[in-house]
Amino acid sequence: MFAVIKTGGKQYRVAADDVITVMTLAGEVGDKVTFGDVMMSVDGDKTNFGAPFLSGASVAGEIVGQERGPKVIAFKKRRRKNSKRKRGHRQDLTLVKITGITLG
Q: With 90 as the cut, is the pLDDT of residue 72 above it? A: yes
pLDDT digits (tens, 9 = 90+) for 11-53: 999 999 999 999 999 999 999 999 999 999 999 999 999 999 9
Quote the pLDDT of residue 95.
97
DSSP secondary structure string for all residues of the chain:
-EEEEEETTEEEEEETT-EEEEE--SS-TT-EEEE--EEEEEETTEEEE-SSS-TT-EEEEEEEEEEE---EEEEEEETTTTEEEEEEE--EEEEEEEEEEE--
pLDDT digits (tens, 9 = 90+) for 51-67: 999 999 999 999 999 99
Q: Tell me the domain boundaries of the chain.
A: 2-102
Q: With 90 as the cut, is the pLDDT of residue 102 above it? A: yes
Q: With 90 as the cut, is the pLDDT of residue 104 above it? A: no
